[in-house]
Amino acid sequence: MAQVSLRKIVKAYEGGVQAVKGIDLEINDHEFVVLVGPSGCGKSTTLRMIAGLEEITSGDIAIGGTVVNDIPPRDRDIAMVFQNYALYPHMSVYDNMAFGLMLRKFPKAEIDRRVTEAARILDITPLLERKPKALSGGQRQRVAMGRAIVRDPKVFLFDEPLSNLDAKLRVQMRTEIKKVHQTVNTTTVYVTHDQVEAMTLADRVVVMNHGIIEQVGPPQELYHHPATKFVAGFIGSPSMNFIPARLEQASGALRLHLPHDIVLDVPAARTARYQPHAGKDVLFGIRPEHLTDDKLTDKSNTAPVTLKPEVIEPMGMETLVHFKLNGTEVSARLDPATPAAVGAPLSLIAHMDQMHLIDPTSDKVL
């Protein structure tokens, strides 16, 4: 078993600054969990505490049921892949992958078997005799992953491994990492600031902010059912629109009053849920992909919106259009064939069954 348990983990530095503020997290055996959040949220610090590279101020970390607080990194049976690859430049790819096993006095035949198998999984067999300087960034990252795989650890730890790669290579390496996990099936904890990486790789995503965990769940759950404004805005690209509104009662139904005299009907299925908040100011949250062209034949649970574009971004397969409502930035994702012009009124549809209401005081999703 390689379950990883974090129990009330705190990391504090001199001066009382807390990087991690008493988090609890259970990572299941064979699970791929991604810690995601902005710079300074505590995700890398948490990973380094799991690895033993950062001392815990208080709390317990257990790997496979054993508390490892006082166990040095080399004895925790973990393997870590770093952002900068950390390869030995004077060694061949084969020797870089084999070096850790040689230090642990593994038999030569077993070392060769493990390196050969890891190279096959990562498709780097033709590179085994090369030195790191003769490799591309993506190939170096594969070697770093291979060095981790040959150790056959209980847990893989990835610390922003793709951030030094260009955009195209990051997409390719995301696929490679997912394929490797499906093949090796080792418990994996992965840190990134990129929510797209988190969504595409994870079994579960852990969204961190200011040293706390905002929400934990499968990617689609975080996308469709965010618990807080932070999660709603962080997950999804472009991020969710947040528009100040007032929720009002009208003839047994609820309506949202937005700036520019825009009135949107709340779906009847949401009435009971939102009724206690009638008469209050709220934030109306809707994703750009749910603010679309006025072309639907079935317009149930939708509401018309007319806005004037300020910026139009053709993206090929889609067009992003940006507006302002009383100073609030609003984005819509449109079909590229939709005629849109800066300053000209554009008729849109808001998919109200995909809406979110947020309490502006607590930032909780209602």
Per-residue pLDDT of the chain (366 residues; tens, 9 = 90+): 689 999 999 999 988 889 999 999 999 999 999 999 999 999 999 999 999 999 999 999 999 999 999 999 989 999 998 888 788 999 999 999 999 899 889 999 999 999 999 999 888 999 999 999 999 888 898 899 899 899 889 999 999 988 888 888 888 888 888 988 888 889 999 999 999 999 999 999 999 999 999 999 999 999 999 999 999 999 998 899 999 999 999 888 899 999 888 899 999 999 999 999 999 999 999 999 999 887 765 677 788 888 899 999 998 899 999 999 888 999 999 988 888 899 999 989 999 999 999 999 999 999
pLDDT (0 to 100) of residue 165? 81
E strands, 73-200, are 78-81, 155-159, 187-192
Q: What is the reported pLDDT for 180?
A: 86
Q: Domain 241-358: state its class.
A: mainly beta
One-letter identity of residue 312:
I
* Calpha distance 347→332 (Å, rounded): 11
The angle at the Cα of 174, spanning 64 to 213, to the nearest 5 degrees, equals 50
Structural contact between residues 306 and 299, judged by C-beta atoms closer than 8 angstroms: no
Predicted confidence at residue 172, as pLDDT, reads 85
Cα four-point dihedral sign 304, 308, 311, 316: positive
Using DSSP's 3-state secondary structure scheme, residue 116 falls into: helix
What is the reported pLDDT for 303? 84
Extract the tokens encoding 335: 């079909």
C-alpha closest to that of 349 among 282, 311, 302: 302
The architecture that CATH gives domain 4-234 is 3-Layer(aba) Sandwich (3.40)
Q: What pLDDT does 296 receive?
A: 60
What pLDDT, on a 0 to 100 scale, did the predictor assign at position 85? 79
pLDDT of residue 333: 93
Which residues make up the CATH 3.40.50.300 domain(s) of the chain? 4-234
Residues 6 or more apart in contact with residue 205 via CB below 8 angstroms: 33, 34, 36, 198, 199, 216, 217, 218, 219, 222, 235
Q: Which bin fits 105, alpha (ψ -120 to 50), beta or left (φ > 0)?
A: left
In whole angstroms, what is the distance from residue 271 CA to residue 253 CA? 7
Is the backbone peptide bond immediately before 238 cis, with ω within 30 degrees of 0? yes
Residue 169's pLDDT is 83
Domain(s) labelled CATH 2.40.50.140 in the chain stretch across 241-358
DSSP line for 232-260: HHHSSSSPPEEEEEEEEEETTEEEEEEGG
- Residue 83: per-residue pLDDT: 81
The pLDDT value given to residue 297 = 56
Give me the amino acid identity at 256: L
